[in-house]
Amino acid sequence: MMHNKYSVILSVVGSCCDRYLSTGYSDPFTLPELFDRVASIDHVTGVELVGNWHITTDNVSFIKENMQRTNLKMVAIIPDHFGKMEWGKGAFSSKDHAIRRKAIEHTKEMMDAVVELGGDLVSLWPGQDGYDYLFQGDYIEERNWIEEGVRECCQYRKDVKVALEYKIKEPRTHSYIGTVAQSLLMVQKIDSKNCGVTIDFGHALEGGENVAESVAILKKYGDKLFHVHMNDNYRSWDDDMIAGSVHTLEFIEFLYWLKRTGYQGWLSMDQYPYREDGKEAASESIKWLQAFTSIVDRMKDSEINQLFEKGNANEINRYMRERMFGK
């Protein structure tokens, strides 16, 4: 039996905006309301925060109060490397040395904050670190800067895990930390035990990955899967939809490989429910994941190993269909 731990990123239950409707698709909530909304979702025991959007060095105790009131565990902080004008052209790989320093300092502050709040993980998503136009960046040096910056953060506190969250594009047309394998090359270069990778299910899909295989690759090259973000999309963009609302077999295979590789971390909902109530949208994700998990629970490793040994597509389809819908 898989025993999943579910958490929700605080912004999921808030109001979402996009470039056409920058003032938001619905009215905003206060921070305490967001905590209450997360806590009210069945099966959710943890919460994940975004730097600046939710947490700064100034409001840690206020956050702590909210966590205590709602009895939510600190899953992770995502430091802000994307949501202020100063990050607009990059954070860890900014061409401006002072900005690169700020990216590191903010990360360290969030590492301190996460420990203060009972957690041990920051998930770095340097979304502005990349480029839009050909000939816009030195692909070697700018990657070196990211590796140096992240290494400094990793060495700052060995008791905090630093996970790189890869994404192929957006907000830049090209991200430097784009795929699972690129992330691993960086992690190997950074060479710090507390450095690993966050899989965002939708980012992996958008990058053309089979997400279950990405789990396997992280296992094979150093056991580096540190954290997981859940959502869904149509494969060409990070639509951040309800997990399970588009894909089915991909989620089943993904959960199976989480189990097979012994993943012990959280499944954290990371969605943009522009036109839906976010509380329910997170709840729907969890219910899909539970449905898929119960299918995985009907699969024995010995059976799967036999499927792998033969690789017979017809047998695989029969096996999967019967686990999903019975004979």
Of residues 206-245, those binding a copy of itself (CB under 8 A): 207-208, 210, 212-213, 216-217, 219-221, 233-237, 239, 241-242, 244-245
β pairing state of 44-50 and 73-78 = parallel
d(CA 218, CA 183): 10
From 144, 158, 223, 306, residue interacting with a copy of itself (rule: CB under 8 A):
144
Residue 210 backbone dihedrals phi, psi, to 5 degrees:
-90, 110
131, β-bridge pairs: 174
CB of 108 to a copy of itself, least distance (A): 22
Listed ranges 35-43, 66-74, 109-117, 185-193: which one lies at the site for a copy of itself (CB under 8 A): 185-193
CB of 140 to a copy of itself, least distance (A): 5
CB of 68 to a copy of itself, least distance (A): 29
In the three-class reduction of DSSP (H, G, I as helix; E, B as strand; rest coil), residue 241 is classed as strand
Tell me if 17 contacts a copy of itself by CB under 8 A.
yes
Listed ranges 32-40, 58-66, 148-156, 305-313: which one lies at the site for a copy of itself (CB under 8 A): 305-313
β pairing state of 6-9 and 44-50 = parallel
Tell me if 2 contacts a copy of itself by CB under 8 A.
no
Nearer to a copy of itself, 119 or 127 (CB): 127
Contacting a copy of itself within 245-304 (CB under 8 A): 245-250, 253, 256-257, 272-277, 280-281, 283-284, 287-288, 291, 294, 304
Token output for 30: 């206060």
Tell me if 148 contacts a copy of itself by CB under 8 A.
no
Tell me if 121 contacts a copy of itself by CB under 8 A.
no
Tell me if 170 contacts a copy of itself by CB under 8 A.
yes
Token output for 240: 């951040």
Token pair 């399970």 in the structure block, residue: 244
Residue 132 backbone dihedrals phi, psi, to 5 degrees:
-105, -45
Terminus-to-terminus CA distance in the chain, angstroms?
Answer: 22
Cα dihedral 249, 270, 237, 145, rounded to 10, equals -120
